[in-house]
Amino acid sequence: MGFEELPTPCYVVDEELLEKNLKILNGVMERTGCKILLAQKAFSMYATYPLISKYLSGTAASGLYEARLGYEEMGKENHVFSPAYREDEIDEILAISDHIVFNSFSQLEKFGEKAQQAGKSIGVRINPECSTQVGHGMYDPCVAGSRFGVTLKHFRPDMLHMISGLHFHTLCEQGADALATTLDAVEEKFGQYLHELEWINLGGGHHITKEGYDIPLLEACIKRMQETYGLVVYLEPGEAIALNAGFLVTTVLDTLQNEMDIAIVDTSASCHMPDVLEVPYLPPLLGSCEVNEKPYTYRLGGPTCLTGDVIGDYSFDKPLESGDRLVFGDMAIYSMVKNNTFNGMALPAIAIKDKSGDCRIVRSFGYQDFKERLS
Ligand SMILES: Cc1ncc(COP(=O)(O)O)c(C=O)c1O
């Protein structure tokens, strides 16, 4: 079907745009020999895993369910990191994962032997205590009091013999300069241990597919770890994989006025793009401009009861009318993985736009999906 015929609300992932990102990432892998994994927390649209698996080394999971998804749908290297594993899940996680990363030495003490017996590659997440993002505590794993990773003070060299690698994740939508700064801190604090290990995982938050990202500097950082310590280098970006590769198509349901023009659309910031409220940010809307740049400015809001369910203010060439279709950009990442049915909102359908421009709905949802999560 054509893009215009898709039902709304609908997430649409454009295979061509996704592949463009994958080629950039694969180029980094080919030139450096590093391995790049899909962090499924950002993007778990497994209908695209056959395409992703052509370019990347595997999947990174946050726990059992994502690990299962990677194992079942991608079937390549499967890595898992969780801040704390559950006793009743660890056996299943070990059965389907290649790398398991522990957030503390107490978790390593608890589950390390089991992981060793299962023949898994074991890592520990470190916290290099190097904040490179100012004023973003919510997204900074190095913020004071963070629960993520072992700081140097709590590192246990006596347990080094149990592990093969170190993992850190400290960035969020950042450039290679922030990675270089972080590596300085990692080397200063943990460099003495790196010679004894096999791999290092540089986590996610690398905005590699964003225009202007300094790929040569990233590659220099990777080579620095490979050449200095003889390590296999892993990266596990989420955003960079499907950045700007997806859309959320919505329909205007009504327009009204209250000191300004308002349009209610059939998608909700709160349910379908929660990062818009959490981060917060103004999502790109195709064909629109910032407030007052075009003659007709509207506040777009969702149909839920939450007063703050406001997507943002945009200006248009023409007045909006009920039935108009609007298309939000950059809606593949941290969107469908985070959606919910608050207020009984329908979940958007999920579609793929192939290279010929043809669209195919791969999943649609209805009342049962809302009901089955309740009792
Ligand atoms: C451990 C870990 N790895 C990878 C990622 C992916 O980060 P991003 O989507 O910003 O690249 C995250 C994001 O929170 C993370 O916590």
**Residue by residue, what is the 3-state secondary structure of 133-187?**
CCCCHHHCCCCCCCCCCECHHHCCHHHHHHCCEEECCCCCCECHHHHHHHHHHHH
Strands 349-353 and 246-257 come out as unpaired
Structure tokens at 253: 């349901």
Pocket of ligand 1 (CB under 6 A): 39, 41-42, 60, 81, 169, 172, 203-205, 236-240
- The residue contributing the CA closest to ligand 1 atom 16 is 169
Backbone angles phi, psi at 292, to 5 degrees: 70, 0
Classify 202 as helix, strand or coil. Answer: coil
**Closest ligand 1 atom to 171 CA:** 10
Q: What is the mean pLDDT of residues 156-175?
A: 97
| Termini Cα distance of the chain | 36
pLDDT digits (tens, 9 = 90+) for 185-242: 999 999 999 999 999 999 999 999 999 999 999 999 999 999 999 999 999 999 999 9
What's residue 134's pLDDT? 79
Structure tokens at 38: 């899909």
**Closest ligand 1 atom to 42 CA:** 9
How far, in Å, CA of 56 to CA of 236, rounded? 10
The answer to whether residue 135 scores a pLDDT higher than 80 is: no
| Percentage of residues of the chain with pLDDT beyond 70 | 100
Dist. CA 50 → ligand 1 center (Å): 21
- The residue contributing the CA closest to ligand 1 atom 4 is 204
Q: How many CB atoms lie within 10 A of CB 282?
A: 13
What's residue 137's pLDDT? 82
Dist. CA 171 → ligand 1 center (Å): 8
Dist. CA 172 → ligand 1 center (Å): 7
Q: Which residues contact 145 (CB under 8 A, 6 or more apart)?
A: none
Q: Which residues contact 59 (CB under 8 A, 6 or more apart)?
A: 37, 38, 40, 66, 67, 69, 70, 71, 74, 76, 77, 78, 79
Q: What is the mean pLDDT of residues 360-369?
A: 98
How far, in Å, CA of 29 to CA of 25, rounded? 6
What's residue 136's pLDDT? 78
Dist. CA 126 → ligand 1 center (Å): 14
Strands 296-301 and 310-316 come out as antiparallel
What's residue 199's pLDDT? 98
Dist. CA 3 → ligand 1 center (Å): 31
**Closest ligand 1 atom to 141 CA:** 16
- The residue contributing the CA closest to ligand 1 atom 9 is 238
What dihedral do alpha carbons 22, 275, 272, 311 form, nearest 10°? -120
- The residue contributing the CA closest to ligand 1 atom 5 is 204
Dist. CA 89 → ligand 1 center (Å): 22
pLDDT digits (tens, 9 = 90+) for 262-299: 999 999 999 999 999 999 999 999 999 999 999 999 99
Q: What value, to the nearest 5°, has the Cα angle with vertex 234 and ends 233 and 236?
A: 155
How far, in Å, CA of 309 to CA of 274, rounded? 9
Dist. CA 214 → ligand 1 center (Å): 19
- The residue contributing the CA closest to ligand 1 atom 10 is 205
Do 58 and 38 form a contact (C-beta atoms < 8 A)? yes
Dist. CA 116 → ligand 1 center (Å): 26
**Closest ligand 1 atom to 333 CA:** 9
Do 148 and 180 form a contact (C-beta atoms < 8 A)? no
**Closest ligand 1 atom to 206 CA:** 11
Dist. CA 38 → ligand 1 center (Å): 9
Q: Return the biggest CA–CA distance within the chain.
A: 68
Q: Is 182 left (phi over 0), alpha (psi -120 to 50) or beta?
A: alpha
Which of 80, 234, 236 for mutating ligand 1's site (highest number of atoms within 8 Å of CB)?
Answer: 236
Q: How many CB atoms lie within 10 A of CB 23?
A: 12
**Closest ligand 1 atom to 236 CA:** 4
Dist. CA 133 → ligand 1 center (Å): 15
pLDDT digits (tens, 9 = 90+) for 39-94: 999 999 999 999 999 999 999 999 999 999 999 999 999 999 999 999 999 999 99
Q: What is the mean pLDDT of residues 347-375?
A: 97
The answer to whether residue 161 scores a pLDDT higher than 90 is: yes
Dist. CA 170 → ligand 1 center (Å): 9
Which of 79, 169, 200 for mutating ligand 1's site (highest number of atoms within 8 Å of CB)?
Answer: 169
Q: Which residues contact 119 (CB under 8 A, 6 or more apart)?
A: none
